[in-house]
Structure formats: C-alpha cells, structure tokens
Amino acid sequence: MLLGVLTGCTTPVASPAASTPAPGPPAAELARFYDQRLVWTDCDGAECASLVVPVDYADPDGPTFEIAVLRAPSTAEARGSLVVNPGGPGSSGRDYARAASGVVTDALRDAYDVVGFDPRGVGASAPVDCADDAEFDLLIATDGTPDTPAEVAEIERVSAVLECTSSVDGLVDHLSTADAARDMDVLRAALGEERLDYLGVSYGTHLGATYAALFPDRVGRFVLDGPLPRDLDAEELTLGQALGFEDSLRRFVAYCAAEGDCPLGDDPDPEVGLARLREILDALDTQPASTGDPDRPLTEAAATYAILMSLYRVSDRPLLRDALASLASGDGTPLQRLLDERTGRQADGTYRDNSFDAFYAVSCRDRAAPGDITASVDRLSSAAPFLGEYLAWGNLPCAGIEVTAPPQARGAAPTILVVATTHDPATPFAWADALVAQLGDAVLLVREGDGHTAYREGSVCIDESIDEFFLDGALPEPGAVCD
C-alpha cells in the first residue's frame, strides 16, 4: 500500500546554506595537512591523487599515511567537487567515483567533478588486515544459530580469529568513522572547496552525519541516502536490521508466491512461505547442500547470508527465487554463486578487496558490542524470530573492543537532505526520523518501495529532487513521498 502520492515531491523550499557563517581556519598544528593541494595523475581514464593525513589527529606530529583519492572529471564545466561514499564500512570510494556515470545522473556529471576516496584502512588507503581468505570463508559458513555447547564453542573460536593489523603504526586504533570524517575535511581543503558537497549512501550517511557534527560550518549540500543514525549501539543496529530484513524477506516471499510455482509454495500468506524457508534452512543445519566443491558445501549460515545479500536489490528477486528452487532440490550451487558474487569471493578462493577486514575494524570501534552476547541473542530472537538470533551472533567478533566515543555536534549545519526507502532491508525506514532528529536541521524525502537506498534506483521523482538540491539548493517539502 502506498504511503502517499507524489505530492510535494519537487516543490522547492529555500536552502539556508548560503546564510551560514564562513568556515573557521583549521587548528595551527594541522595547517600542513590542510595546506595540501592534490596532484592529479592519469588513472585508467580517471584521475588519481594521494592525500597525506595524520594517523592520530590528537598527535599531528606523529605518524602519517596516504589516503587514495580518485576523481571523475566533469563532463562539461565543473562548478566544484562532489565527494561520494558508497557505504560499508569497507567499500571503496575510489571505485564508486570511477563508476560516476551510474552513481549520479548526467546532469550532476556535467556540473561536478565526482570525487571518491578509500577511507583509512580501506582498499588503497593503508588497508587493514584482520584475517585471511580461508578464515573469512569459515566465518561465513560457521553455524550462526548454535544450539549445542559444541556449536557455541565453535562460533566463539572462529570469531576470535579476527585480529586486525596494519602496516602503518598505530592505525588500527584510529579507524573510527570520526577519524574518516576528519580525513574528509582535509580532502575538502585539498580540493580547494570552502564547503563540502557530499553524497553518502548507507553507512556513508553515518560518515556524512559525523562530518556535520564535527564541521557544521563546512557543510555544503549534503544528501544522505539510506539513513543510519550515529548513536545506535551494535545491538540496536542489529535489531533494526533484523526487522528490516524480515520485512523485505516477507515481501520477497509474497512476490515469489504471486509469480507461481514458488519453491516456498504459492500460498499468499507470507508466513506460510517463511515457514517453508525455515524448513529448508534447518535441513542445512544437519546436512549442508552440495555445491560441486566437496570442501565447501552450502551451510545454513552461508545460505542465510546469501539470502540477505540478495534482498538489497529488487532486480535480484528472480535470481534468488531460482536459487532457492535449486536448493529445495538439494543443489546449493546457485545460492553459493550468488553469495560469492555479492561478497567478492573469486574462483581461486580469494576476495577481491579487504572490505570484510575494514567492516569489522571500523564497526567494532564505532558501536559498542553487547557485554553479554547470549542475553543479546535471547532479546533479538524474541523481537525478530526469523533472523534475530543469526544476526545477533554476528556481533561476537567485536566483543571486548574499545569503542571510540562519537563526536558531539559543534553547532547547527545547513539543512541536509535525508532520503529513505519505506522497505529498505539494511537501513530500515524507522531510522530516518532518528537521523533527521540528530541532524537538527534536515528534510526527509521518502521513496515508497523496496530495496536498499533510493537515488538512481528507478524513481524519476527521487532523482530529480536530489539533482535540484545539488544544482539549485532547492529542497523538497519535508516528508514528500516519491513512488
């Protein structure tokens, strides 16, 4: 059912960005970083540069390292730089900027140089290493719903394998989102921008909101798509995602039944299909499915992860449906293949980047893990019966790691545009109001639909509204809904 029609979707209200005071100068001890100018070199059709930043901003005379930056130059005459972040944490901002033609519209490609950077610890920016590829395979495949003492002991053993290291002295202790936000402000200065224009999706909204808290007077036009509030602890985040993915899973089951000949049955009640899916997954707990690789059968945990990864995009629904049909007949190969494609696992058993490593290294320092994991499992199992237990055990690798306190807001930033999708599995719609409230001055734009994030996902209304904000400073009416 629609939450609304497209009323007000493109009705502009004035942006107050131009009335904010000019940014203050950086601290004197950081001047050598802020005084940098990027030297661009050819980079396979784009332009690449390196940015020097301190490992610890409280010790600017200490160790430094380089942040890798990529720019896709404007296709016309650039009005400035638009910095983009694809989320994660752990995803490459350089790869995201390289794919600029799919990330933003042609109108924004004409107007902006699209710039992405690999956040500290990610990709080409002093990549952190937390485990080898075989250990990540094991972490994915290990029983995520342990129901015997031996299974609990095994998941505890496997989770303890993760131990992050870096070739840069001290970097592992400075991988929080607040550290990355400080790097982003140095990047802003190196780009020659007085204020930062920014598009962040998913975790990138958390990075953007953290930047706005630290540097409110340097915020330009910010769009945060797929909102992730800054103040959630790990259990609160996990519960929100468990509920979001369960909602999306029910909607997938309803789609599958409506298509007919569904491997989960054709009953229009999604609870019936979910019960059948639970039977299929439970069977894998005792007998993993064949994948053609005797050393890597499809376990219950791996199948569950594959299903979740296939809920991010509506376009994956037919693939997931067919893979579940094969699994119901005993063949786990298609679902394993979907999982490998979504996680970047290659045919030789290696992963194409260090996104898993960076995900844990950053997440564990951003959000406090539950002190009692078994009590947390009980709470989440009760609140989200299908996925709560599985996702709750996923917090175990972060247990006992010291968390970096999130920064307090230093003042009011200009109005920020927050965009949320009503049936987003990974950043559930309920988080939108929380992030808007945290920002203090923000406008919410709603996409009625399924899938993760909204921009460039098929809604002309969403795309035009975001473009109008970036190009003209025109905000949609608060709460405007796009179909």
Catalytic residue (choose from 183, 197, 353, 424): 424
Our answer to whether residue 206 is catalytic in this structure is no
Contact 217, 23 (CB under 8 A): yes
* Residue 203 CB contacts under 8 Å (≥ 6 apart), including other chains: 85, 87, 88, 89, 91, 228
Contact 445, 462 (CB under 8 A): yes
Our answer to whether residue 424 is catalytic in this structure is yes
Our answer to whether residue 452 is catalytic in this structure is yes
Catalytic residue (choose from 357, 452, 459, 465): 452
Distance in angstroms (rounded) separating the CA atoms of residues 460 and 207: 26
Task: Of 239, 389, 263, give the one whose Cα is nearest residue 329.
Answer: 263
Residue 346 φ then ψ, to 5°: -95, 170
Catalytic residue (choose from 91, 159, 166, 202): 202
- Start-end of H helices in 86-148: 93-98, 100-103, 106-111, 133-141
Distance in angstroms (rounded) separating the CA atoms of residues 54 and 57: 6
**Helix, strand, coil content of the chain in percent (nearest 5):** 45, 15, 40
Q: Which residue has the tokens 């894998």?
A: 284
Contact 62, 170 (CB under 8 A): yes
* Residue 14 CB contacts under 8 Å (≥ 6 apart), including other chains: 473, 474, 475
Residue 107 φ then ψ, to 5°: -60, -40
Per DSSP, 80 falls in state: E
C-beta contacts of 58-65 below 8 A and 24+ residues apart: 60/29, 60/30, 60/32, 60/33, 61/29, 62/170, 63/168, 63/169, 63/170, 63/171, 65/120, 65/125, 65/126, 65/168, 65/171
Catalytic residue numbers?
A: 202, 424, 452
